[in-house]
């Protein structure tokens, strides 16, 4: 082997090692997201504490409250529950999509059926769907608290925000539909070219 060939081989080997090390570092950087998901898990614990507090406050006045107040109390508990569900979906789907598969759940009979199947696109749709549901509950509470003075500016803004969430959800779903159709077309074109 000539001197030039040895130098070239050494450069290629060094370049390959640098490239491999860089790629491993970039791939490993996904673990920097793990603290976010553990933080959200702690957030669920805080939300559970708030739920217990709200439930206690609601339960101790249940026999002295009118039906209207009971309905508002139940809607408040439902609101917290939906938020907890949303956080859990974000934790499981986000962690599995961006960090690592949750191996501990693989053989569990309690594994949610959607776990491992929610991709980034599905995560966006679930997120916006949950936001719409939470927004609806807040609007329902507002409407139940309406007095004879009519709809306030705050309620009008909440209605506008709710409609924005709904429109965003429809647009997300439409974009996902278009992308999926585009991918199907690309796959069929590739299959046709491969046949030739």
**What is the pLDDT averaged over residues 100-105?**
82
66 falls within a domain = yes
Confirm if 162 and 139 have CB atoms less than 8 A apart.
yes
Q: What is the pLDDT of residue 60?
A: 93
The pLDDT tens digits for 127-161 are 888 888 888 888 887 777 777 666 677 778 888 88
Give residue 37's pLDDT: 95
Residue 23, in any domain of the structure: no
Mean pLDDT of the chain: 83
Q: Which percentage of the chain shows pLDDT scores above 70?
A: 91
Query: How far is residue 103's CA from residue 96's CA, in Å, rounded to a whole number?
Result: 10
For residues 81 and 194, what is the distance between their CA atoms, to the nearest angstrom? 51
Residue 24 lies in a domain: no
pLDDT at residue 183, rounded to an integer: 78
- Per-residue model confidence (pLDDT) at position 162: 84
Q: What is the mean pLDDT of residues 61-66?
A: 89
Instruction: Give the Cα separation of 195 and 104 in Å (integer).
Output: 43
Q: What is the pLDDT of residue 4?
A: 65
Q: Higher model confidence: residue 38 or residue 115?
A: 38
Query: Residue 159: what pLDDT?
Result: 85
| DSSP code string of 66-104 | -HHHHHHHHHHHHHHHHHHHHHHHHHHHHHHHHT---GG
Q: Which domain holds residue 171?
A: 31-195
Q: What's the confidence (pLDDT) of residue 33?
A: 93
Q: What's the pTM value of the predicted model, to 2 decimals?
A: 0.69
Asked whether 168 and 135 are in contact (CB, 8 A), the reply is no
Q: What is the pLDDT of residues 6-53, one digit of tens each?
A: 666 667 687 888 888 899 999 999 999 999 999 999 999 999 999 999
Q: Is residue 71 part of a domain?
A: yes
163 in a structural domain = yes
As for how many domains the chain has, the answer is: 1
In a domain, 12, yes or no: no
Whether residue 25 lies inside any domain: the answer is no
Whether 58 maps to a domain, the answer reads: yes
């Amino acid at each position: 082997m000539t001197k030039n060939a040895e130098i070239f081989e050494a450069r290629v080997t060094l370049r390959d090692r640098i490239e491999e090390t860089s790629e491993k570092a970039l791939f490993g950087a996904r673990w920097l997201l793990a603290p976010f998901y553990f933080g959200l898990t702690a957030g669920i614990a805080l939300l559970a504490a708030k739920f217990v507090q709200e439930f206690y406050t609601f339960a101790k006045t249940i026999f002295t409250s009118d039906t209207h107040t009971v309905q508002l109390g139940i809607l408040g508990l439902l609101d917290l529950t939906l938020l907890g569900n949303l956080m859990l979906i974000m934790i499981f789907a986000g962690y599995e999509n961006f960090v690592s598969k949750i191996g501990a759940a693989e053989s569990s009979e309690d594994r949610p059926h959607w776990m491992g199947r929610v991709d980034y696109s599905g995560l966006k749709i679930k997120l916006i769907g949950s936001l719409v549901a939470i927004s609806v509950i807040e609007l329902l509470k507002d409407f139940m608290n309406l007095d004879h003075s009519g709809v306030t500016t705050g309620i009008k803004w909440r209605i506008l925000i709710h409609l924005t969430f709904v429109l965003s959800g429809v647009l997300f779903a439409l974009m996902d539909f278009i992308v999926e159709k585009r991918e199907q077309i690309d796959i069929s074109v590739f299959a046709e070219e491969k046949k030739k």
